[in-house]
């Protein structure tokens, strides 16, 4: 299953790209509208890019009245990414979105590097969201967590259906002459190629910690079918494309084709057969 990473595609400006995905993940929606961070919001840097968008979004009310109906017209399965400053906000957004045939899952963004983190622990937020909705819930975790397996287990116990791994790292780039931060906000989210081994490790660790029993969306620096296959081998059941979409809007179709070739070159008939194979020779 190939998805986009939240915040890396707008299905309304690029429906042709969204239609090539198995589901479209919307940019994180919060309870109140958010204007986002000041310019500049982007900078290319070593092995990746920095962004400080700051979860700009119209808020759940306008999202539900103005955006969601237009997304539903596209006829693509939708995942809604949900953010907030407190557990009650996450729960409220989940409740307002409600259960809809078009919405296949909610992804709880527990890890945006561009906003101040929620005060509560991840498990508390998931439990509040679980009480507000019956929809499948994916907990999106940060690669900065020291104990990602521990957090993964706690969110699953709190009612999460699956995991989304990983959000961006934190990074800084300085202007070549002034030596001041290139982003208006200073530090930003670091995504792209540099994230690949980090994401791979997070997926690998969480797959093992959960005995391969929960769905895992792997993402971070995926640019080719081989990168997608690596995540699947480490334990991902789906792969999401992020920053690559900016330079190659054809990436969903291309990566899907490359993945099929990489699988068959190794004798796998379906992606499911390759899931978790990285763990075969691992002893405890």
Partner 1 sequence: MPAPRRERRKVAGSERVGVYTLLRFERGGLDAGIPGQFFMLELPGHVVPRPFSICLAPKGELGFLIDPVGPVTRELCELERGQEVSVFGPLGNGFRTDVDRPLLVGGGIGVAPLPYASQLMGKPPAILGFRTRHHAEAAKLVPKAEVCIEPTLVTELIPAVPMNVLACGPEPMLHAVHALVPDAQLAWEAPMACGFGACYGCVVEFESKSVRLCVEGPILNGRPPVLPVLNGSEEEKAE
Ligand X SMILES: Cc1cc2nc3c(=O)[nH]c(=O)nc-3n(C[C@H](O)[C@H](O)[C@H](O)COP(=O)(O)OP(=O)(O)OC[C@H]3O[C@@H](n4cnc5c(N)ncnc54)[C@H](O)[C@@H]3O)c2cc1C
Active site residues: 112
From the list ligand FMN, partner 1, ligand X, none, which binds 56 (C-beta under 5 to 8 Å, kind-based)?
partner 1
Nearer to ligand X, 33 or 40 (CB): 40
Number of Cβ within 10 Å of residue 267's Cβ equals 8
Q: Which residue has the tokens 């439990």?
A: 127
Q: What is the per-residue DSSP string for 54-85?
A: ---B-HHHHIIIIIHHHHHHTT--EEEEE--S
What is the side-by-side strand order in the sheet with 188-191? Answer: 42-45, 48-51, 188-191, 169-171
Q: Pick from 1, 56, 72, 260 the residue near partner 1 by CB under 8 A.
A: 56
Q: How far is the CB of 278 from ligand X (least distance, A)?
A: 36
Nearest distance in Å: CB 118, ligand FMN: 13
Query: Which residue from 23, 234, 245, 278 is in contact with partner 1, where contact means CB under 8 A?
Result: 245
Draw the binding track, 90-119, toward ligand FMN (x: CB under 6 A; -: no contact).
Answer: -------------------x--x-------
The 176-215 site mask, x for binding ligand FMN (CB under 6 A), equals -------------x-xx--x--------------------
- Site for ligand FMN, residues 227 to 246, rule: CB under 6 A: 242-244
Please say which residue, 15 or 40, places its beta carbon nearer to ligand X: 40
Residues 10-39 within binding reach of partner 1 (CB under 8 A): 10, 12-17, 19, 27, 35-36, 39
Number of CB atoms found within 10 A of residue 188's CB: 30
Q: Is 46 in the site for ligand X (CB under 6 A)?
A: no
What are the beta bridge partners of residue 49?
44, 191
CA 140 to chain centre: 6
In the complex with ligand FMN, the residue whose CB is nearer, 5 or 203, is 5
N- to C-terminal Cα separation, the chain: 30
Q: Counting contacts by CB under 6 A, is residue 40 touching ligand X?
A: yes
Neighbour tally for 210: CB within 10 Å: 18
Residue in the shown chain whose Cβ atom is closest to ligand FMN: 7
State the Cα–Cα distance between residues 137 and 131, nearest whole angstrom: 11
Partner whose footprint covers residue 6, from ligand FMN, partner 1, ligand X, none (CB < 5 to 8 Å by kind): ligand FMN
Rounded Cα–Cα distance for residues 132 and 41 (Å): 34
At 53, list the tokens. 């968008």
Q: Is 61 in the site for partner 1 (CB under 8 A)?
A: no
Query: Environment class of residue 172 by beta-carbon count within 10 Å: exposed (0-12), middle (13-18) or buried (19+)?
Result: middle
Give residues in contact with ligand FMN (CB under 6 A): 5-8, 27-28, 51, 53, 55, 81, 109, 112, 140, 167-168, 189, 191-192, 195, 219-222, 242-244
């Amino acid at each position: 299953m190939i998805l986009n990473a939240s915040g890396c595609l707008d299905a309304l400006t690029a429906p042709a790209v969204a239609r090539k995905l198995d589901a479209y993940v919307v940019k994180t929606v919060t309870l109140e509208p958010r204007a986002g961070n000041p310019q500049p919001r982007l900078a290319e840097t070593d092995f990746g890019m920095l962004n400080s968008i700051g979860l700009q979004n119209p808020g759940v009310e306008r999202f539900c009245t103005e955006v969601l109906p237009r997304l539903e017209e596209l006829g693509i399965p939708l995942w809604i990414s949900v953010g907030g400053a407190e557990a009650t906000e996450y729960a409220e957004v989940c409740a307002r979105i409600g259960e809809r045939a078009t919405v296949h899952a909610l992804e709880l963004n527990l890890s945006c590097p561009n906003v101040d983190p929620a005060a509560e622990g991840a498990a508390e937020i998931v439990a509040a969201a679980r009480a507000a909705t019956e929809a499948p819930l994916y907990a999106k975790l940060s690669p900065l967590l020291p104990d990602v397996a521990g957090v993964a287990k706690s969110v699953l116990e709190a009612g999460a259906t699956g995991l989304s791994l990983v959000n961006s790292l934190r990074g800084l780039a300085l202007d070549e002459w002034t030596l001041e931060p290139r982003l208006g906000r200073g530090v930003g989210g670091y995504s792209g190629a540099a994230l690949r081994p980090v994401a791979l490790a997070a997926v690998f660790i969480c797959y093992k910690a959960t005995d391969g029993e929960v769905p895992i969306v792997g993402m971070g620096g995926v640019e080719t079918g081989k990168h997608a296959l690596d995540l699947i081998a480490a334990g991902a059941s789906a792969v999401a494309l992020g920053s690559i979409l900016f330079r190659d809007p054809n990436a969903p179709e291309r990566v899907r084709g490359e993945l099929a070739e990489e699988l068959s070159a190794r004798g796998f008939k379906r992606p499911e057969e390759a899931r978790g194979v990285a763990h075969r020779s691992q002893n405890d």
